[in-house]
């Protein structure tokens, strides 16, 4: 089962190109710092503005550099079902351990449409699937009855939940059991998510604080909630500051402070204003990262 700190990897750019060297070094550093899993080409990886060729190359690099040291959960979402199937097929062929598939954005499918979307991917590609529910970006929300139907499909093994509705973790666990993987999609609420029975987090903050994030989950799973709370308090200013402007612009700037990436993002995202930069730098200092 996917568990602990799973980093939603940023995709470093150098001008208008993917910085392959920086990405490969970022993957290796993450693993060496204790990160439990890797998610390339998610929203934090700027998947909406990567070409199909870039998307596939980033997945392939992540799998190659990770070399089976930790699981790779490849982003394979699209608001086109056929495109999501194609991305999932590529991820499987490349050697990914699972795929993360977001709810179709902009189209606003019904619950029936959501079920049909995920079932089509499930039926076409034999790979474990994590459903990604993020109404704040996709507008649609998977309700509990739809999730229960999806969980009956063999390869749908869990959910990334970015709804901020912590009670869903318990209600989902009570219906689907503890083996159904529940991953938080929000660093700032991950502690509460875990307390309700979650298994880990697909983390933005882990890009820049991989060891602290790993230590947080280690403390929790080692039945040391006092240490987990202490680490969470240390990370909270960073959790908050990394979303003061649209992600991943803030985390790209934070990575630039560590010398891990440029702060370049692709339009329609832009670099941060100076006030936000100052708050992120202060949060990084508070966490002892710079």
Six-digit token string for 186: 């929000």
Say how many CA atoms lie within 13 Å of 74 toward its Cβ. 29
End-to-end CA distance of the chain: 33
Cis omega (within 30 of 0) on the bond before 248? yes
Task: For helices 20-32 and 52-66, give the axis angle rounded to 10 degrees.
Answer: 40
Note if 211 is an active site residue. no
Instruction: Name the 3-class secondary structure at 17.
Output: strand
Q: Which residues pair with 18 in a beta bridge?
A: 13
| Catalytic position from the list 92, 132, 217, 260 | 132
Instruction: Compute the Cα dihedral for 133, 150, 58, 187 and give only its sign.
Output: positive
217 is known as an active-site residue: no
Looking at 21, 108, 149, 160, which residue is catalytic?
160
Q: Rounded to the nearest 10 degrees, how much is the dihedral formed by the CA atoms of 155, 161, 163, 166?
A: 120
Where in the sequence numbering do the catalytic residues fall?
A: 132, 160
């Amino acid at each position: 089962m996917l568990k602990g700190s799973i980093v939603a990897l940023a995709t470093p750019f150098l001008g208008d190109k993917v910085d392959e060297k920086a990405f490969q070094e970022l993957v290796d550093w993450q693993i060496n710092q204790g990160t439990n899993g890797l998610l390339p080409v998610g929203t934090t990886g700027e998947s909406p503005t990567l070409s199909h060729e870039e998307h596939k190359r980033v997945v392939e690099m992540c799998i190659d550099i990770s070399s089976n040291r930790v699981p790779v959960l490849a982003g394979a979402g699209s608001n086109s079902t056929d495109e999501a199937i194609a991305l999932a097929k590529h991820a499987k062929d490349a050697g990914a351990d699972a795929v993360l598939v977001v709810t179709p954005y902009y189209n606003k499918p019904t619950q029936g449409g959501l079920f049909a979307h995920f079932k089509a991917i499930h039926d076409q590609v034999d790979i474990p699937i994590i459903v990604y529910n993020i109404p704040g970006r996709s507008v649609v929300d998977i309700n509990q009855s739809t999730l229960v139907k999806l969980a009956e499909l063999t390869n749908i093994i869990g959910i990334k939940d970015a709804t901020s509705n912590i009670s869903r973790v318990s209600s989902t666990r009570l219906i689907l059991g503890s083996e159904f993987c529940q991953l938080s999609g929000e660093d700032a609420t991950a502690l509460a998510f875990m307390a309700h029975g979650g298994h880990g987090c697909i983390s933005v903050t882990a890009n820049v604080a991989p060891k602290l994030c790993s230590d947080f989950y280690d403390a929790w799973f080692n039945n040391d909630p006092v240490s987990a709370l202490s680490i969470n308090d240390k990370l909270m200013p960073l959790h908050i500051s990394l979303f003061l402007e649209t992600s991943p612009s803030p985390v790209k700037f934070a990575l630039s402070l560590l010398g891990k990436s440029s702060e370049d993002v692709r339009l329609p995202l832009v670099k941060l204003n100076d006030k936000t930069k100052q708050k992120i730098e202060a949060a990084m200092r508070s966490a002892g990262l710079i």
